[in-house]
Structure 1
């Protein structure tokens, strides 16, 4: 891949304009997402919420979700998610309720206090990200925006497919 980047610099073309195999794109996507997660952990620093709490609350901002789905999206067991939810519930950031259609299923919902806390955490992280983004050229920013929209679309599809919601 470094060879492709060197070639593109020498020829004046961007790596995006060259043909890449699906495997190259899969590797770059996986590596970029992994590095993005690491970057977000570093940017998170000593915030009010842990990275896992922030992630959970951001997901719940989209609407109430079953605990089983939240565990799956977080890559943890249901007992681990239950402990995580208990800590957020103790802080007053989420509530638990029973699903009307299945009394065994637990539904997690964000509270106003949880929404305010995660909004503060997001604002802090966004301000740090803005500093990094200001270093990009206008063309790089436009290409990043386009690429991130594609990444968001394929991420949403993967989530929906894996949870049987597609």
Structure 2
């Protein structure tokens, strides 16, 4: 690799690891020690759904994991009191997963961390720097999603 490519690779890997460590540290400092990072990300995915709810199939698709894996994770989160299953009003065959009050509180705290991170990154950036960063991160995201296919 060329020197710039090596530097960029190192920054990407270090950033990924740092985000995970920061999330883990926040989790350890909170009173929610019964949740893993992947469970928090599951809560986030539920909370981002239309009307703050999603079906198991929608969660599997958005998180790119299998239906059985989502079912197991959701059942664990139900036992812990973070999500609930609700039948659809128009079609009772459809079961939605939604956040409980406790789940919404965790999702809100996690979302606040991400919002703070983004604000801190772009605080002193020019519009062109923000656009360049966005374009670069989108290219990284596209590459990673292609690798998952």
SS in 1 for 2:62: helix
Unaligned 5+ runs, structure 1 = 6-27, 160-166
Question: Rg larger in 1 or in 2?
Answer: 1
1:92 paired residue among 71, 81, 95 = 81
Distance 1:107 1:36 in 2: 34
1:39 paired residue among 18, 21, 28 = 18
TM-score by length of 1: 0.55
TM-score by length of 2: 0.60
Q: Does residue 42 of structure 2 align to residue 56 of structure 1? A: yes
Match runs of 1:15-164 below 5 Å = 32=12, 37-46=16-25, 47=27, 48=32, 49-63=35-49, 64-99=53-88, 100-101=90-91, 103=93, 105-123=94-112, 129=117, 133=120, 138-139=124-125, 143=129, 145-147=130-132
Q: How many residue pairs align between the two structures?
A: 129
Q: CA shift at 1:79, angstroms?
A: 1.1
SS in 2 for 1:95: strand
Name the CA shift for 1:112/1:141 in 2 (closer, same or farther; >3 Å).
farther
Q: CA shift at 1:52, angstroms?
A: 1.5
Q: CA shift at 1:137, angstroms?
A: 8.3
- Compute the RMSD of aligned alpha carbons: 4.2
Distance 1:147 1:102 in 2: 47
Distance 2:46 2:83 in 1: 9
Unaligned 5+ runs, structure 2 = none
State the Cα deviation string for residues 36-81 of structure 1 (Å, max 9, x = none).
5443212112413322222222222233111111012222211111
